[in-house]
């Protein structure tokens, strides 16, 4: 399928979620960072891919909280219409730039239509702003071979590590993931 597997995990404990250790460790990183929406990552100067599963989960949550909000329904429907063919391509060909780049036109169209909408509800405005703010980091994986569109592998490994260290330190944990080809899958501050 073309998915890359994680080779190793390096865990670094820090006393808080402060971003200094993250920024220092990754200041010269030249690969692609795949992460959640933790704000410290925004200051890093490397190409980034935000986890689309986190975004989809948040969009679904907003829709569940406001099921009669037609504006959020529209955003969710349009995002789903954008992401489904991309995921179909990944399932068929793997994470290969050659096949994924064709979706760039659809991504540009999605953001053009999003920016033309005049939303009135607070939730819809919030999600439009979030999408536009992260525009350059939501579909980075379309331009690279082997860069995932989510950080699921890292999330699952962190959960397993947490289970195995249930009686361990209560500090925040920073997890660094390495892939073949020098792509960084995930660097996450968690476990407060």
* H helical segments located in 28-134: 52-65, 70-93, 97-100, 104-116, 122-133
Sign of CA dihedral 145, 147, 152, 155: positive
Beta-bridged to residue 177, according to DSSP, are 9
Cα–Cα distance, 170 to 190 (Å, whole number): 10
Nearest to 186 by CA among 18, 22, 15: 22
Q: What is the pLDDT, as a whole number, of residue 76?
A: 95
Q: What is the DSSP secondary structure assignment for residue 5, as one 8-state letter?
A: P
Q: Which of 41, 34, 47 is nearest to 151 (CA)?
A: 34
Q: What end-to-end distance do the CA atoms of the chain give, in Å?
A: 36
Asked whether the CA dihedral 17, 26, 129, 91 is positive or negative, the reply is: negative
Per-residue pLDDT tens listing for the chain (192 residues) = 222 344 444 555 566 667 777 777 778 877 888 888 888 788 888 899 999 999 999 999 999 999 999 999 999 999 999 999 999 999 999 999 999 999 999 999 999 999 999 999 999 999 999 999 999 999 999 999 988 888 765 555 545 555 555 444 444 334 444 333 444 433 332 322
């Amino acid at each position: 399928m073309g998915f890359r597997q994680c080779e190793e995990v390096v865990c670094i404990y820090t006393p808080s979620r402060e971003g200094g250790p993250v920024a220092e460790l990754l200041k010269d990183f030249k690969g692609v960072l795949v992460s959640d929406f933790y704000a410290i990552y925004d200051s890093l100067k490397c190409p980034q891919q935000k986890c689309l599963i986190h975004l989809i989960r948040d969009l679904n949550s907003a829709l569940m909280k406001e099921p009669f909000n037609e504006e959020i329904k529209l955003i969710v429907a349009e995002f789903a219409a954008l992401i489904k063919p991309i995921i179909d391509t990944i399932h068929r060909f793997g994470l290969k730039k050659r096949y994924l780049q064709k979706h760039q036109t659809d991504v540009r169209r999605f953001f053009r239509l999003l920016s033309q909408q005049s939303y009135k509800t607070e939730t819809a405005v919030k999600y439009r702003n979030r999408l536009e703010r992260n525009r350059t980091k939501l579909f980075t994986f379309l331009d690279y071979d082997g860069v995932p569109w989510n950080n699921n592998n890292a999330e699952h490994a962190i959960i397993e590590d947490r289970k195995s260290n249930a009686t361990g330190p209560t500090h925040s944990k920073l997890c660094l993931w390495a892939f073949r080809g020098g792509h960084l899958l995930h660097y996450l501050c968690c476990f407060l």
